[in-house]
Structures are given as structure tokens and as C-alpha cells.
Structure 1
Amino acid sequence: MLVVSSEEVQKNRLRLKTTITSVRWLALQGCSFRGHNESCKPLNRGNFLEMLDAFGRLNKDVGEVLNSAARNNKYTSPEEQKEVLNIMANRVRQKIRGEIGDASICILVDEAQDESKREQMALILRFVNSSGILTKIFFAIKSVRDTTSLTLKHAVSDILVHYNLQAQKMRGQGYDGASNMRGAWNGLHALFLKECPYAYYIHCFAHRLQLTLVSAAKDVRDIWDFFSHLDNVVNMVTSSPKRICELKITQRREIEHLLEIGELNSGRGAHQIGNLQRAGTTRWSSHYDSVKRLIDMYGVTCKVLEHLMEHSPNISCQAEVGGIYKNITSFEFVFVLHYMRRILSITDILCQALQKKSQDILTAMRFVYTTKSVIQELREDGWEEFQQEVISFCSKHDVCLPDFDSSYRIGRSHGREYPTVENHYHYDVFNKAIDFIQMELNTRFNETSVELLSLSFSLDPKNSFESFNMDDICKLAEKFYPQDFTKQDIYSLRIELQHYHNDVISEPRFQVSSLSELCQELVSSRRSENYVMLTRLIYLVLTLPVSTAIVERAFSAMKHVKTAIRNKMEDGFLTDCMIIYIKLEFAMNIDIDSIIDEYYAIKHRRAPFK
């Protein structure tokens, strides 16, 4: 049996501690570990080895044990790094698993390509923890050979089984609207429903909102034309560094002129020099930002286009810029520009609300209703004020105004005439687009006709529990969660609700605005110990998903961890780096000495001393 002195043991532990500290720091920062050349000669041997050298220079004891280590006992090889990283990642997953406990869970799943063009599936778990706090946690990312529903189902099931998470505890599923996800017969949600009939699927609300706006843009020709012209304007002005520089110079001159004549007030941080923003294809918030930015920089953009027309090197380029300038200075463009800012500003509040981490489905549905109401108010009472806003903008920027009282003909071939130009813009653009948006919102957000959510509103604490209905709450538990409530539990729930009505509803501390806040108050006040069945039902409703925005955040983290210069990263290494990078607070609290003990225990099991 090999005998190692206590002094050598302490040196080995110090070496390993230095390695663990370096690995954890690099993983937390999303940095690469290895260098292109890790031999002794290069000036830069990569982040990991250079960090070890830095520790050695700062601490004499560390430097001595690192330099005196035998070649096969340095704890610095790539295999040792992966071993340490895997131990830490498993510790984070165990922490998450402990936080979940026996709670019901909802899974959020989406897939995306990584830097090496491999399909990666991200899994997010949504649950209510023991403190009554609604929690959404990134749990795993796994490479899949394809994105068929069966492949994704097997991948999710493998992860759940590995960490002792029972599929029967699922009470919600959240995906986008792709056919492999929402297919009624063979979609991912349908496959899980066969195993767990109470894992209710809800299409991502943020994705529905995006589809609503896309449909409205496609169905109203003026809006579709506007976005085509907007793309041309942004592309033309931002297509080269010289044009961007010209834009910023013109903008600076414009701000200085307005400050001189007193139309702008100076202040710290005010009137920043900016740039036009290109709209994304999948995130409609970027369309809102693009529209706002062009309105703020409209005059400057027109001057830049005028400059390009005068100084373009050839006739074709001059003609292209001239066409774009003609479009941007037309009344039709300015009208739809302001119209889309108004519409997108209303829907953007809903879009941002849907992406909040602690959003519950009842609050999300209320935002949907208020969005519909505000848009309808704009249609009924907003035309005159909006028209004056557009006219004022056109007068300020010398945009030619049409004769609103003259007749309007749509194309030579159509032969259709409107009584006046104002009627065309009012009814064929303004009202028509709103009607399409309202129709799409009513079609895609029709949960009031779905009994599950209709009954769930009985739990809503808004406006002093005005929606409270004892029969609906009992019906919700009995019909939609029979696996969680026996007949005796339903009876107990009804008795609890009688006390709840006279106890909690009348107390000021429970006058909150959302179900998630009510849940936290019930737990913190220990009322949850008295209203066990009701608290269980609230947990289940909160588990229902709202949007998959957190999955998109996981993919953003993946792009940070796996980059163009790290595109050969192994899937296991990527997964371990991701879980530590995202769950920063868990990884920081890991005890290093316990990692050392686990490391040696693993090594001993693999190669015990003879």
C-alpha cells in the first residue's frame, strides 16, 4: 500500500485547490480554458495556465508547490480540468434539484444551433419553491441529432430520469408554436400528455404576440410597404462606416444648432449621438426601437440621404438613394411611421411584461386584456389627435401634405375611390390595421374560452379578490388536477375557502396585485400551513408557463460560452460551463474543500491504491 506523508497530502490539496479556483473563475466568466500552445516556450499559454502562474507569483507557497510538482501530479491536465468542472456542475444541479424537492414542475423547451452548427436543446424548469417564490431555472442543454418531437421527448425524459425528476410531476409545458412542438397528435406536448395528462401545454405568449403583429403587417399593404422601405433606409445609411460617420457628424451639428437657438435644453447625459437600428426578424421589440430611432433622427437621416445623392460616385447609386429619399419624405411613409410607433408602444408594454422572470399566467392575461382595451380606445377616440401629431411632424420637416378633402383613388386598375384622402388614411389604414390586430389578438389569446384559465381567475387577488368564486376554485381542482386532489381533499378545500374568505381576503397585507405575490405572502405569514389545499392549488396554477423568454436567454449564454474560437467544445464540457455560468450564485457558494474530497473519492474508486 502506497504511504503518502501528511506534508505531501497538503501540497497536493493546495495544488488542487488552485486548479479548482481557476476553473471556477474561468467558468463563471465564460472564458476559454486552453491556449493554442501550452508548452513552456510561448508567452501566452492560455487562460488556465496563465492564471495558475499568476497565483504562483502572488503566493509563495502556491508557487513552490506548483513548481515542485511531478509531471504527473500537477492537477493541470485538460482531463483534470474537465473532472473538476463536472464535479462543480453536478453540485449546482444537486442544489437546483434540492430546491425543487417534491414540487410540481413545468418544462420549457426550445432548440437552436450553436457555433459549430450542432442542434442544442435547452431545458428550463419552472416551479414554486418552498418559500412560495415562483422560480424558473436553467437546468440542462443537450445536443440532439434532429428536432423531431420524438427525439426531443427522449432527450427531455433522459434528463428528468437522470436527476430523479418524475414526468408524472409535470403540470405544464411551454414551447413555441412549431408543428414539432404543438402538433395535436405527434407534437412534443402530445407525447408527454400520454404519460401525464395534466401537463397542460400553453403556447409561448411572447411568440403569439409576435405572430399577431406579423400577421397584421402582412394583411395591411401600407404597413408591409412601410417596413420594406424602413429596411432600405436603415441599410442605406448604416451600410458603411463612412455613412455612419456622416450620420453622427450631421446629428452633432443638428444638436448644436438646436441648443444655440434654445429649442433643446442641455443636461448631463442628454442628446446622445446615436445610430439607426436594424430591426430583427424574430423580436418585435427591435421593430419598435427601429421606428423610435428613425423618428428621433428623421431630419438628420434625410440630410444624410441628400448628401449621398449629391456625392454618390455613379448614376445607379444616385438613383437608388433618390428612390429611398422619395419614399422616406412621402406623407404615406411618415403617416405609417408614427402609426407603428403608436401601435408598437402599446404592444411593447405587453411584450416586456411577458418576458419578466416571475410572471404568472393570470397577470399575463390581464396585460393581454388591457392591451386590447388601449388599442380599441385608440381606434375609437385617437384619430384626430394622431392626425394632428402627423401633420405637425410633416410641417416641421417640410414633408408635403396631401389635400385631405380631395378624392382618393387606389391605383388606376382598381378604380376605387374614397370620398376624401382623409377617409382613406382613417378607415383603410388606421382602422383597418387596428381591426386586424384586434382580430389576431382575439384569435391567438382566446384563453377566456379555455375553462382551465377561466376558472384560474377565481384565485386572482386583484382589486380585493373581486374574482373570488368558491365553486369555481373547487371545480378547478376537481376537474383539472384530479391526481393532486382526492375527493376528501376537495371537501377540505371547500372548508378552507370558507375560512379563507373571512380571514385572508379582508386582511390588508394580502391585498396584492398578482397571484405570485399572494403565494409569497401566504408562505411568509405561515397561512399556508392552515390553507394546505388552497396553497397546493395556487402552486399548480403558478406552475403554468407564460413565455419561453428564459430559454432565449439560455441560448444567449450559449453564444457567449461557445464562440467562434471555441467551436470545438465538447457537449459535456459546454453543458457544465453553461450551468455554472448561468447559476452564478449557486456556483459561488460551493465549498472548495468538499470538491477536493469528492475529487479524491472519485479517483480512489477508479484506481484504488494497491
Structure 2
Amino acid sequence: MTKRLQQSKVQAYFKRNRIEIEDHVVSSNYEEVDPVVTSLQVSTPLTSDSCTTISTPSLNTTHIQSPIVTVNDLSKNGEKPRQPSIIFPKNEAGRHFSTHWYAQFSWIEYSKELDAIFCQPCRLFGGSTAEATFSTKGLCDWRKLGDKCRKHDSSVCHMAAVETQKVWAIHQIIGTVDKQLDPNFRNEKFIDDNRKHLMTVLDIITFCAKQDIPLRGDDESDQSLNKGNFLEILELLGKYDSNVTKRIESLPGNAKMLSPDIQNDLLTSLASVLLDYVKSEVEIASCYAILADEVKDASKKELLGASLRYIHKGNVRERAIGFIELKDMDAGTISEKLIELLKPFELDPLKCVGQGYDGASVMSGVHGGVQARMKGAGYRNATYVHCASHRLNFVLAATAERHPLMKSFFDILDLTYSFMNGTKRHAVFIDVQVERYPNVQALELARSCSTRWSSRSLEVERFLRRFDCILDTLSIFGNDNDADTSLAAKSLLGSLQTKKIMTILVYFGRLYDYSDFCTKAFQKSTATVSSCLILLADLRERLVNFDFDKVVEYAKDLSGEYEIENFDVRDTIRQRRLPERFREGYLNSSVGHTNASNFEELEILLRQNVREILAELDARFGTDQSGIMKAADCCLPRSQNFLNKQELNTLSELYAIDIKDCEIEVFRSFIARKDESQLNTLIDVLDVIDKDIFPDVFNLYQILVTIPQTSCKVERMFSSVKRIKTRLRSQMTTERLNHLALLSIEKDIAETLCYNDVIEHFKQMKHRRFLL
């Protein structure tokens, strides 16, 4: 009698819970249950045995144990149906599957391996009564697909499988009998408090990641005065919010969610949700491009960093997708790791229209380089583009280093910087600036870097602005008691106090004023082919019309202001006298000379330098093997060949775009009615195109805008790596570095992440003592 009474109590308990759950679960529509299914915490994968134990008072599910089709690219229990958006292959009859069926029948999932569709509920929960076509074999006959799906949707076996899936989802939420009898499990407030505590922890982790500061401390014990940023910030929040402290104190010692392992798991979840956000954006883009580069971190590990470029809601996006460690630096390894980084995004390789790297042979090689291997791996439409910023840097660096006079000029600037960098000398240099310019902040001299041309521009600018202070400081140390210091100061002072150095300084100052516009514009993520063409054309025009007379005139004015009398350093070496018999054949001009003894000869050398820059620009930017630059130029309304089909032929064939003549004619008339002054770039034109009216023209402009012109996004990713993984944090694993870097680089996404999604991901990673 006692046993029967206990059974009736248990049945009554489950009946009550069943009624409470049905109040919150809609049973008539499969799509409305889907959000519940996707938020499940699956502690153990569902097997045939586990399926047979699912039962409710109203539905017996013992019939559902049937062999589940083993296809690698189909979903598992608790996941949404796999519904990729790709270019689907055609069968022998020329038919193929289409993504519009997903919206009509939400249970459909597509297998790329079999080129077939399945019904997720029937495949996972249909059992022996399920229709084999939709559960085990897969449907690949696309004739009258709608009729077949509608018939299956209304079948008894399908509706039973859907109901069984709902019951399974409910049991995942309710859990076992032990958990149901646990008062903490039924206590929603208890779970809500746990989530609030975890959200506070997530806030601190996200804050530290965005600020590039470490989380952990060297000593995190209770007696430590510095427990690390994570625990110290948590204590600080507790001072102003007592609930934070109360929640921590109420939790057991082994479930406070503050350990380093928990931090790593939460970082993994944050990065995963962030990448899901990027995936959701790039999935709806019609095309995308890949950017990649390598860097060595503080622990001497070689890392490959990558990002994706695409258009989202009319704006160009360049999003970091992570770092991966490289064991070798050959093209095969790099391309394999790059594909590994791209794999989680499930992108169609044929939608990749560009790949941007630096000019190293391992990346740019047309036969065995990374760009060639990526094309061989299925990314055949990905046109390789050498970073425009790198190319411009090579142009300016090569022409400056080529001539001995220019090279010696930059050597003098670098030696002066090194001399001024001494502690005592630097202090005197600052004092001299304060005395001369009392109401202006003192400037630091900049040091040049061969790989960053903007640093040389800054170096020349600072020298020009504080040339008088540099001379004063060198004069002071020229009388120093230390012989070495005095000798070095006098030597530098003698080298700088010449009209020749002053003229070259003014020349490079003017040259960088012109080139800096291109350098800065090429580093922007919004840089496109058209914007690069416009800026390069402007730079060429300025160089062709370079006013050397103004340079010489300004140099003479500055020389008079600084009391510089000598044109060049006095040559103390005895000059060899030319024999009498050779004097008539001696060419008395500066042609072919590497030095200059007056302004006229110096101007000839400077003009030669400008001609070399123009030649380098043509050599590095003039090649247009893919016809991209030509196509971009004729896609600008200001072009005389606006949308000329012959100019677009190469690009049209490359990306299989066949624009009809009538569409081009109508679009020209459409643009003619617009204000041409507002359509300066490809993005401006793209903004006014209606893709439904001009579909092929829209695709053409999207491709041209998506093709990358610079890989500076990856360079900025490396800057974050250097800020995060410092010498003191050199033991950090690559996985943790990757997660921290993603949150730091994509701050705008990190600020808007839904913590509920993060907690759900964290909950599903493994079994937790902490109830969420």
C-alpha cells in the first residue's frame, strides 16, 4: 500500500510539471520550439538507448530507436538544422536545390556531402516508422519538391517525430528526477542569481580584454595586496554593490566561477559568440575577400593572422577571424592553416573574390605561393592583390636608399636621434624647447623604420619643427667635458649646419606632405580600387609639377635664420689634381655625380630622385594583369569610358558577370540624372544602385568594392598581439591570446554581445556544478 501511494505521488508530481511546461511551450509550430532546442545544455550525447527512455503520460516514445543516418555535415541533437547558403550543384536534369525552401519548411536540412535534403525531426526522432526518403536515404530528386515536402509535413510519422523532439527538449530542461526533486533546481531566483553573478564576471573579463590588460595576478591569495586586475576589479565592484559580494559569499568554494580555468572557458565562449556574429554578417554578403599576414609573438612563436572583408548594409567591413600557430613558414603550411581558420565559417570558396597579402614570394608566388595554393584549393576566383600600403612604402624606401646622398642624409638624422636619446642629452633638449617655446608642448624626435614609411615622414617633420633646438643642444654638448660626447656633438653639428642638408630636409618634408595622403588612405579598411587610383593619380600629378624653386627658396630662408653659411661640410681631404692631358675631355657637370657642390647641382639630383619615384610608381602600380584597375576606373561616372564593355571584359570573364547592353544603357541614364560631384568613389555609386533593377551592375560594383587593396587590418591585429602578449605574459597559450585579441580588435562587437548567448555556450561546453 505504501509503495502504491508513493507511485501515485510521483505520477501526480510529473502531471503537475507537465501542465506547467505546456503553458510555456507552443506545441503546434515546430519553428517556435527551435529557440528552446538551441539553448539546451547537452551533458551527454543522445544515443539510441537514451532515446528509448523518454516517456510522458501522454506520449510513449519507445519506438524512436532507429539507426540515425551517419552523415558528417548534418546536425546533432540540440542543434539547429544545417541549412547552408551556397551555390548548389545541378543534377543531370539541370535542377538544383534552393535556399528559399528553408523558410517554407524549417525542418529541412541540406547535406553537401550527398547533395540531398533530410527532415531533422524524422532523422533524429522518427524511429522505424519514419519515411526513409527524409530520414535515412535523403531526398535528391528536385522535381515537384514542394509537393513532396508538403505531403511529408502533413504525414503522421512526421508530426509524431516533431512531438517527440519537443518532449526531448522539455526533458533536457527538466532533467532527471533527482534534479526535479532538488529545491535549488526548481528555484528560478537561484538560477537568476547565478546568471547575474556570471554576467558580472563576463563584464570584468570583457573590460580587461578590451583594454589589453592582464586578468591574473602573480599572487591571488587573500593576503595578497595585488591579486590581479580581475579579482581587484571584482572587489572594487563589491564596494559599491553589496549584491556582488553577497552572491560570491553565498556560493560554495568550488563553484565561485573565478578560477583561471573558468576564465579561459568564458573567454572561449565570448570569442565563439563574437565569431558567430561575424559569420552571420558574412553569410548574407554576396562575396568576400581574405586578408592574411604572419607575425612572431613575444614567445618567438610564428602566428598567422587573418581577417575577412565584405559589405554589410552598404558599409565595408573588415573583421578579424583569429590567429593560428605556424610550425613551418612554407606556402603549403600557411595555406593549410589559413583554410583551417576559414573552415568554421562554412563559406562558399567561389564567393571569395580577392586575397590580400604582402609581397613576400611565399605569399605572392604565382606557381607555389599561398595565393596559387588557395586558388588550387577551390578559391579560384580569389584575385591576389599586393597590399597598396606596402607597395607605396617600397616605392619611397627604394628611391631614398638608392642614392648615396639620400642615404647619408637619413643616416645623419638617425645618428642625431640616437645622440639625443641619452638621458642627460634628452633632458637638455627638452629644457631648450621649453625655453624657446614656453607655451608649446615639447616634442620628441622620431626614429625611422624601414618597414614603416610614415615613421620617416614623422622624423623629417620633427626635425624641421625643432631644428633650432637641435642645433642649440648640440652646441651645448660640443663643449662637454667628456671627449667622446663633445666629438660626437661637434661632428653632428657640422653635418647639420649646411645648406645642402637643409635643402634635402625641406625637399623630403614637401615630398611627404604629398605622399602622406596616400599612405594614410591606403591604411583605411574602406580603401577601394577607385580610391587608390584617384590618390595615386593625384600623387603623380603633384610629383610631375613639383616646385623645386620653392624648396630652394625656403631652404635659403631657413639657412639665413639659423645662420648657416656653408653649403656643404668642408672637405679636408686633399683633392687630386686632374692631369693636363685629360682636362679637355673632362665633363664639368653634375650628370652622373653622387654629390653636389651648389644649389643647381643639388636640384638636378633631387629632380632625378622624383623621376625615380615616378618610375617606381609605374612599375609597382602600373601592372593590371586582372584588369581590376582598368575596370574600376571605367566604373567611375567621371570616366570618359564609363561602363565601357571592352574595358570590363577581363573582369567580367574572371567573375562570370554578363551585363546586358540594355542594363548598361539604362544605368548610364540613371547616373546621368544624379549629382556627379557626390559620386566620387565606387562605394558612393554602390549606395545609389537598386540591386533589383540593376542586378548585374550591382554585383560588379560589389565585387570591385570587396576586392582588398591593403592588408593593414592584419597589421593592426598584430599591434594588439604585441600589447597583449608582452615579455611578462610570454607564457600565454596561443588559444588564450587568440580569444583576448579578438575581443580587443573587434571592440564594437564585444560591447554588444548578448551575455545570455555566451552563458548558453559556456553551459554546453561541459557539465557544470554551477546551475545556469
TM-score normalised per structure 1: 0.88
1:533-570 Cα shifts (integer Å, max 9, x gaps): 11111111111111111111111111122222221111
Give the RMSD, CA atoms, in angstroms: 2.5
**For residues 480 and 597 of structure 1, do their structure 2 counterparts lie closer, same or farther at Cα, with a shift above 3 Å needed?**
closer
Aligned length: 570
SS in 2 for 1:73: coil
**For residues 402 and 45 of structure 1, do their structure 2 counterparts lie closer, same or farther at Cα, with a shift above 3 Å needed?**
closer
Q: Take 2:649 and 2:498, find their aligned partners in 1: how far apart are those partners?
A: 58
Question: 1:410·1:417 contact (CA, 8 Å) conserved in 2?
Answer: no
Q: Which has the larger radius of gyration?
A: 2
SS in 1 for 2:437: helix
**For residues 384 and 599 of structure 1, do their structure 2 counterparts lie closer, same or farther at Cα, with a shift above 3 Å needed?**
closer
Deviation, structure 1 residue 168: 2.6
| Structure 2 residue aligned with 1:203 | 386
Q: Take 2:270 and 2:677, find their aligned partners in 1: how far apart are those partners?
A: 40
Question: Which of 178, 187, 190 in structure 1 is aligned with 2:360?
Answer: 178
| Structure 1 residue aligned with 2:265 | 83
Deviation, structure 1 residue 597: 3.3
SS in 2 for 1:272: coil
1:159-192 Cα shifts (integer Å, max 9, x gaps): 1112212333211111111111111211111111
Question: 1:291·1:337 contact (CA, 8 Å) conserved in 2?
Answer: yes
| Structure 1 residue aligned with 2:684 | 517
Q: Take 1:200 and 1:449, find their aligned partners in 2: how far apart are those partners?
A: 10
Give the letter aligned to residue 629 of structure 2.
Answer: L
User: Higher mean Cα deviation, 338-347 or 6-15?
Assistant: 6-15
Give the letter aligned to residue 470 of structure 2.
Answer: T
Higher helix share: 1
| Structure 1 residue aligned with 2:653 | 479
Q: Take 1:113 and 1:184, find their aligned partners in 2: how far apart are those partners?
A: 25
Q: Take 2:471 and 2:522, find their aligned partners in 1: how far apart are those partners?
A: 36
Large movers: runs of 4+ above 6 Å:
606-609
Question: Which of 385, 388, 393 in structure 1 is aligned with 2:553?
Answer: 388
Question: Which of 581, 587, 595 in structure 1 is aligned with 2:744?
Answer: 581
| Structure 2 residue aligned with 1:225 | 408
| Structure 1 residue aligned with 2:293 | 110
Give the letter aligned to residue 652 of structure 2.
Answer: E
Give the letter aligned to residue 250 of structure 2.
Answer: S
Give the letter aligned to residue 182 of structure 1.
Answer: S
Question: 1:177·1:203 contact (CA, 8 Å) conserved in 2?
Answer: yes
Q: Take 1:511 and 1:204, find their aligned partners in 2: how far apart are those partners?
A: 27
| Structure 2 residue aligned with 1:421 | 598
In the TM superposition, 1:182-331 aligns within 5 A as 182-194=364-376, 195-238=378-421, 240-255=422-437, 271-314=440-483, 316-331=484-499
User: Higher mean Cα deviation, 509-518 or 540-549?
Assistant: 509-518
- Structure 2 residue runs of 5 or longer lacking an equivalent are 1-177, 579-585, 591-596
| Structure 2 residue aligned with 1:468 | 642
SS in 1 for 2:310: strand
Give the letter aligned to residue 419 of structure 2.
Answer: M
Question: 1:510·1:518 contact (CA, 8 Å) conserved in 2?
Answer: no
Q: Take 1:410 and 1:377, find their aligned partners in 2: how far apart are those partners?
A: 40
Is 1:507 matched with 2:668? no
Q: Take 2:316 and 2:674, find their aligned partners in 1: how far apart are those partners?
A: 23
Is 1:375 matched with 2:540? no
Give the letter aligned to residue 209 of structure 1.
Answer: L
Give the letter aligned to residue 630 of structure 2.
Answer: S
1:477-509 Cα shifts (integer Å, max 9, x gaps): 532212xx3xxxx25x43321211112332238
Q: Take 1:384 and 1:410, find their aligned partners in 2: how far apart are those partners?
A: 33
Q: Take 1:225 and 1:211, find their aligned partners in 2: how far apart are those partners?
A: 19
SS in 2 for 1:589: coil
Deviation, structure 1 residue 58: 2.5
- Structure 1 residue runs of 5 or longer lacking an equivalent are 257-269, 404-408
Q: Take 1:567 and 1:300, find their aligned partners in 2: how far apart are those partners?
A: 40
Question: 1:452·1:480 contact (CA, 8 Å) conserved in 2?
Answer: no
Question: 1:231·1:278 contact (CA, 8 Å) conserved in 2?
Answer: yes
**For residues 395 and 580 of structure 1, do their structure 2 counterparts lie closer, same or farther at Cα, with a shift above 3 Å needed?**
same
Q: Take 2:436 and 2:192, find their aligned partners in 1: how far apart are those partners?
A: 68
In the TM superposition, 1:430-469 aligns within 5 A as 430-447=606-623, 451-461=627-637, 463=638, 466-469=640-643
Question: Which of 338, 342, 360 in structure 1 is aligned with 2:510?
Answer: 342
Q: Take 1:60 and 1:84, find their aligned partners in 2: how far apart are those partners?
A: 24
Give the letter aligned to residue 481 of structure 1.
Answer: Y
Q: Percent identity?
A: 22
Deviation, structure 1 residue 410: 13
Deviation, structure 1 residue 426: 2.1
